[in-house]
Copies of this chain bind each other. A is one copy, B any other.
Amino acid sequence: MAEKIFSADALTDFSRHIFLKMGCPEADATLAAQVLVSADLRGIDSHGVARLSGYVRLWEADRINSKPEIKIVHESPSTAVVDGDGGLGLVVAPFAMKVAIEKAKVCGTGWVAVRHSNHFGIAGKHAMMALEHDMIGMAMTNASPLVAPVHSVERLLGTNPICVAIPAGEQPPFVADFATTTAANGKLEILQRKNMDAPEGWIQTSAGGSSTNPHELKDGGALIPLGSDKEHGSHKGYCLGSWVDIFSAVLSGANYGPWVPPFVSFLAPPADPVGKGIGHFFGAMRVDAFRPTDEFKAHMDQWIGRFRSARTIEGQGPVLIPGDPERQAEDVRLKSGIPLVEKVVEDLNQLAAKYDLTLG
């Protein structure tokens, strides 16, 4: 498949100009572009500039507010609910994460549920905001219903990712960032482009049968919760996805389950919403609210070092620490640029033509 290479700076600048064309204030456009391209840098191609035209179409359909008045609508010393006013999740999420961090500075931890938001890019970018404050960061979000609970043929949950980011000392931080399904939707998109089958256990047909067709979701199929089948613990993946949905949306007053509005403009949002927009949930915990930071970091280094040096299965690579693959991608892509597949380049070129901009 033909690929073209772009620098992160070029993609960030291009995205920033698109967000400006949508009417975002300067600071919001810059932030949104940085958050978006952080996904491409970290190798999560499905959540980066590949989504840019999708945000534009939702804005054109009046389903994204480019000048939101984001505000705290409820709070306690360690909690808040933020209303994103229909703004870009890429902007609403950093606002909410900052609130969590400020709360943690004062009382040890901060927990913020968000309603009336939109797709926030990668969870990792937001959770990692805590690291520079010597805090543990958490981020989760609900998403368009694509996942069938155990026994269900209906799609009632999104891929609902969770990220936990934990600072270390000499070692890089621990950053676990993953969808609560067996495979993220982005992995299906890759198979579709390569014309390859999916492994069994990723998807089911509209009747709930086994399928290896990566296009199955277009025919009413569904993604399967982490675990793949009951014998291998898919009820646990269902628990995880549900937990994320409830923290993100029932706590905040957003839409949950099958009521979550789709991220694509060609599908209408449900006519009977149970809340506002989609929901997120963020947390920040000051390490020194538990034990001295130096002590904690020394033990994190020991934890990481011990896992890295584990004896491994013959023929397999070393034990990785959560965050390693994304960090490696970022190192490479900062130096050598970000490869985009032809379809995404075409998509960006169409945006460039429409808004009289130059790509790359």
Interface check A318, CB cutoff 8 A: yes
A150 contacts across to B, CB distance below 8 A: 319-320
A164 contacts across to B, CB distance below 8 A: 239, 243
- A199-B232, A319-B149 are known contacts. Are A246 and B291 too (CB-CB below 8 A)? no
In the assembly, how many copies of this chain are there? 2
- A299-B274, A303-B257 are known contacts. Are A236 and B232 too (CB-CB below 8 A)? no
Contact status A108-B111, CB under 8 Å: yes
Interface check A313, CB cutoff 8 A: yes
Q: Within A228-286, which residues are at the interface with B (CB < 8 Å)?
A: 228, 231-233, 235-240, 242-243, 245-246, 250-253, 256-258, 274-275, 285-286
A79 contacts across to B, CB distance below 8 A: 108-109, 285-286, 289-290
A214 → B minimal CB distance (Å) = 14
Closest B residue to A149 by beta carbon equals B319
Interface check A218, CB cutoff 8 A: no
> How many angstroms from the CA of A329 to the CA of B186 in the assembled complex?
39
Contact status A246-B289, CB under 8 Å: no
- A201-B232, A307-B257, A310-B156 are known contacts. Are A239 and B322 too (CB-CB below 8 A)? yes
> How many angstroms from the CA of A287 to the CA of B287 in the assembled complex?
24
A243 contacts across to B, CB distance below 8 A: 164, 176
> How many angstroms from the CA of A209 to the CA of B316 in the assembled complex?
12
Interface check A296, CB cutoff 8 A: yes
> How many angstroms from the CA of A314 to the CA of B206 in the assembled complex?
11
- A246-B303, A313-B153 are known contacts. Are A81 and B174 too (CB-CB below 8 A)? no
Contact status B306-A250, CB under 8 Å: no
How would residues 303 to 338 of chain A score, 1 for a CB under 8 Å from any chain B CB and 0 otherwise? 100110011111011111010000000000000000
Closest B residue to A228 by beta carbon equals B232
A311 contacts across to B, CB distance below 8 A: 152-154
A246 contacts across to B, CB distance below 8 A: 166, 174, 300, 303
Interface check A50, CB cutoff 8 A: no
- 6 tightest A-B contacts by CB? A208-B313, A76-B108, A176-B239, A77-B107, A76-B289, A79-B108
28 cross-chain CB contacts under 8 A:
A74-B291, A76-B286, A76-B289, A77-B107, A79-B286, A79-B289, A81-B291, A149-B307, A151-B318, A152-B319, A154-B311, A164-B239, A176-B239, A178-B233, A180-B236, A182-B232, A199-B232, A207-B313, A208-B313, A208-B316, A209-B313, A232-B232, A238-B322, A242-B322, A246-B303, A250-B303, A251-B290, A253-B291
